[in-house]
Amino acid sequence: MTSRIGVFGGTFDPIHHAHLRMARAFAAELDLDQVRLIPAGQPYHRGRGPLASPGQRLDMVQLAIAGDAALSVDDREVRRAKPAYTVDTLRELRRELGEAAELWFLIGGDSLAALDSWKDWRELFRLANLAVAMRPGFDPSDLPAEVFREWRTRQVSDFSNRTASGTIRPLALPPLDLSATALRARLAAGDAVDGLIAPAVLAYIRQHGLYR
Ligand code: ATP
């Protein structure tokens, strides 16, 4: 049987409840064999980069998904000395999985709106299918014209005809208003974060003095 692999890349600074529920919905809605979370390595630009180190963000992803058989963590971008572009990671995965495998890449609606700023963004559709998790306020008509064209033409309603790459699928999962930015602000202010982050990740944050 053709393997169905999902990939979810992010800064995960830190990984939070919205990430976990979208990763799980991704696996369930698309009937994937496996979802790999890939924390980003070093950022391209200094200044606006992550606050936790790549190794710490990787540790937190590992803690958050422990015991969830559908999810795994892939450390290839963290291990790389140089920053990784998504298209390069997908090229590498496609080489490893072969041409027949169904490869899915998951992004949030806000990332979709910026897709045309990604390196070789059109090649993403040659390499993988795209799943999109809605974010509050997402409106397809706000997408840049060229991304909107892909959004309109690549959606397939009939899922009996699955392909290795090239389609777009919005997840049915209702949007949730939570970002790592908002979470870091709550942590810095000493506000409660119950339910917004995995307890083991919160313990790690406290232990390492992150986001104070
Ligand atoms: P930050 O606030 O630091 O920008 P973030 O919460 O958006 O962080 P990232 O690690 O940058 O988290 O996101 C990884 C991916 O998850 C991106 O594709 C992003 O769009 C998506 N994502 C994050 N939070 C949500 C959410 N609440 N709903 C839908 N997608 C989300």
CATH classification at residue 75: 3.40.50.620
Distances (CA, A) of 174 to 153, 154, 190: 23, 21, 28
| Closest residue CA from atom 14 of ligand 1 | 10
Q: Each residue of 100-148: pLDDT tens digit?
A: 999 999 999 999 999 999 999 999 999 999 999 999 999 999 999 999 9
1 CA from centroid of ligand 1 (Å):
32
Find, among 163, 124, 131, the residue nearest to 146 by Cα.
Answer: 124
Residue 207 in domain: no
Q: What percentage of the chain exceeds 90 in pLDDT?
A: 89
pLDDT at 81: 79
Query: In terms of pLDDT, which residue wins out, 159 or 21?
Result: 21
Residue 201 lies in a domain: no
CB-CB contact of 40 with 10 (8 Å): yes
| CB of 12 shorter than 6 A to ligand 1 | yes
pLDDT of 55: 95
The chain-wide mean pLDDT, for the chain, equals 94
pLDDT of residue 50: 63
Q: Pick 81 or 59 by higher pLDDT.
A: 59
Domain, as residue range, for 93:
4-176
Range of weakest confidence among 2-11, 43-52, 150-159, 192-201? 43-52
How does residue 160 score in pLDDT terms, banded at 50, 70 and 90? confident
Q: Is a pLDDT exceeding 70 seen at residue 45?
A: no
Q: Tell me whether residue 115 is in a domain.
A: yes
Whole-number pLDDT of residue 47:
58
- 20 ligand 1 Cβ < 6 A: no
Q: What letter does residue 179 receive in the DSSP assignment? A: -
Assess whether the C-beta atom of 169 lies below 6 angstroms from ligand 1. Answer: no
Residue 97 belongs to a domain: yes
In this structure, is residue 112 part of a structural domain? yes
Q: Predicted confidence band at 44 (pLDDT cuts at 50, 70, 90)?
A: low
Ligand 1, closest atom to CA 179? 6
**Does the CB atom of residue 11 touch ligand 1 within 6 A?**
yes
What is the distance in A from the centroid of ligand 1 to the CA of 108?
6
Query: Is the CB of 8 inside a 6 Å radius of any atom of ligand 1?
Result: no
Q: What's the burial of 105, exposed, middle or buried (CB within 10 Å: 0-12/13-18/19+)?
A: buried
Packing angle of the helix pair 54-65, 17-29 (nearest 10 deg): 60
Nearest CA to ligand 1 atom 22: 108
pLDDT tens digits along 177-194:
999 999 999 999 999 999
Domain assignment present for 146: yes
Count: domains in the chain:
1
From 7, 8, 19, give the residue whose CB has the most ligand 1 atoms within 8 Å, as the site to mutate.
19
